[in-house]
A and B are shown apart, each in its own frame.
Chain A
Amino acid sequence: MRNFLLFLSKYNAILLFVILEVISFFLIVNYNNRQKEIFLYSSNLLVGKINQKRTELSNYLDLEEQNNKLKSENALIFQNYFNSRYYKTDNPEIKDSSLNDFKIVSASICNKSVTHRNNRYTLDKGTNSGIKKGMGVISAKGIVGVVRKANEEFSSVIPLINTISRTSVMVKGKGYFGILKWQPYDYKKSMLEEIPKHANISRGDTLITSGFSTVFPKGIVVGTIDEIELNRGSNYYDITVNLINDLALIDNVYIIENTKKELKKEVEE
C-alpha cells in the first residue's frame, strides 16, 4: 500500500494527464459527430486494410486469367465499334451479326524486333484462333501492321516499321490520300508519300487509315504529321510522320478480320 502511494505520488502528473486526456477523448468522440464517425471508421481501418491486402493477393494470383478476359472483352468492344460505324441505323432488326464486316481477336506479342530494316513481330495466336494471312493488326492506340503468315499457334506480323510495309492513309478532316512507307531506322517516325503539292495540310494533322484496302477499317489513327518538305521539281510533298504507337513498347494487339474481303476482291478484279 505504501509502495502504491509512493508510486502514485511519483507519477501523479502523468496519471492525471492520461486521465484528463482520456476524459477529453471521451468527450470528443461522444459529442462531435465528425470525430465519432472517424473513430468508428478508424477502428475498422485495420480490418479493412487486411481485407484489401487479401483481395490484392488473390487478384494477383489470377492476373493472367483476368487479363485474357479483359483482352477478349476489349476485342469485342473494338468489333462493335468498327461495325457500328458502318451500319448506323435505327432499325434494330438490321443489327444482325451477318452484317458485321469485322471480327476481332486479341493476341499478345511474344517476339519482336524494332531496330532492323525488316522488323517482324510474332503473335501468340495462329490459325487455330482464326488468324490468316493479310489481316490487319492494331493496338488500343492505333495501327500496328499486317499479318504476313500464320501457322496453327503463331503468326508473323509485318509492322509499320518494315521497309516493305505499305499502308493507305488519309489526312483526317481534309481527305487527301497517301501511302505510308517506312525508312530505316527510326521506329517512331515514318514517311508519307503521294500527297500532291496543292494539298492544304499542316504540321500536327492527324493521319487515319483510309479504308480503301480490305485490311483496316476506315478511321484508325496512324500518327500525326511532323515535317512537311517540298523538293524542287517534285509534285509531291515529302512528309515525315510521328507514329502514334510506340512500336517498341506495345504488348497487346487486336487482329482485325474483314469478313467481306473476298467479295470486295472479286468485284475489283
Chain B
Amino acid sequence: MNTNITNNIRRFFIIVLIQVLILKQINIGWGGYHYIQLFIYPVFILLMPLKTKRFVLLLLAFFVGIIIDMFYDSPGLHTSALVFLAYIRRYVLKFLEPVEGYNIDATPTIKTFGLDWFLIYSTVLVFFNILWYFSMEAFSFQYISDIMLKTIFSFIFSEIIILLYVAILNPK
C-alpha cells in the first residue's frame, strides 16, 4: 500500500516534468495551425489502481490538471479534460471487464491485462480527454472541423507517447 502511494507520487513528478519540460515545447502544425499537441499526463489517471475511490480519483485529476494548467497558463482547460477522463474511467473499465472479473488490487497496466486490453482502454480514455480539451479550448462548436482535426492528430501521437511511456518505464 505504501509502495503504491510512493510509486504514484514519483510517477506524478515524472509525468508532470515530461509534460511541461519536454512535450510542452513540441508544437507541430502546418498552414498556420498547431494541429499536434502532445499529452502524457492522462497516463497518471490511467494507471491509478482499480480500487481507488472515485472521488479520490476525481480530486487527484483536478489537482494534476491544475498543476499542468499552471505551466500551460490556461487555468481550467487541462483540469476540465482530466476530470472528465477520471469520471468516465469507471464506465470504460466496466465495459472492458474480463469474464472472470477484475482482481480488486490490480493496477491497469500492460503487464496485468495485456497489450490489447491496455490499448483499447487507453485509446478510449485518451481520445475523450483530448476531444474534451480541444472542445474547451475552442469553446464553441462553430469550430467543429478544427476541433476534430486537432483531436485526431494530437490523439495519434499522444497515444504513441503514452504507450511508449508505459512500455519503457513498465510500471508495476
Contact = CB atoms under 8 A, between A and B. Distances in A.
Interface in B61-102: 61-62, 65, 69, 74-77, 79-80, 83-84, 86-87, 90
Interface in A4-22: 12-14, 16-17, 20-21
B151 to A, nearest CB: 17
Contacts of A14: 87
B136 interface: yes
Given A12-B54, A12-B55, A16-B55, A24 B140 contact: no
Nearest to A38: B139
Interface stretch (A26-34, A85-93, A113-121, A197-205): A26-34
B59 interface: yes
A25 interface: yes
Chain A interface size range: 20 to 34
B91 to A, nearest CB: 11
Given A17-B87, A21-B80, A28 B58 contact: no
Interface string B35-69: 00000000000000000001100110110010001
Question: Which of A12, A25, A26, A32 gathers the greatest number of chain B CB atoms within 10 Å?
Answer: A32
B59 A21 contact: no
Contact of A32 (B54, B65, B75, B83): B75
A55 interface: no
A14 B88 CA distance: 10
Chain A contact residues, majority secondary structure: helix
Question: Which of A16, A26, A38, A42 gathers the greatest number of chain B CB atoms within 10 Å?
Answer: A16
A31 B79 CA distance: 13
A34 B58 contact: no
Given A20-B61, A28-B139, 5 more contacts: A13-B58, A24-B76, A24-B83, A26-B76, A38-B139
19 contacts: A17-B58, A17-B83, A17-B84, A17-B86, A17-B87, A20-B59, A21-B80, A21-B83, A21-B84, A23-B62, A23-B79, A24-B76, A24-B80, A27-B69, A27-B75, A28-B136, A28-B139, A35-B137, A38-B139
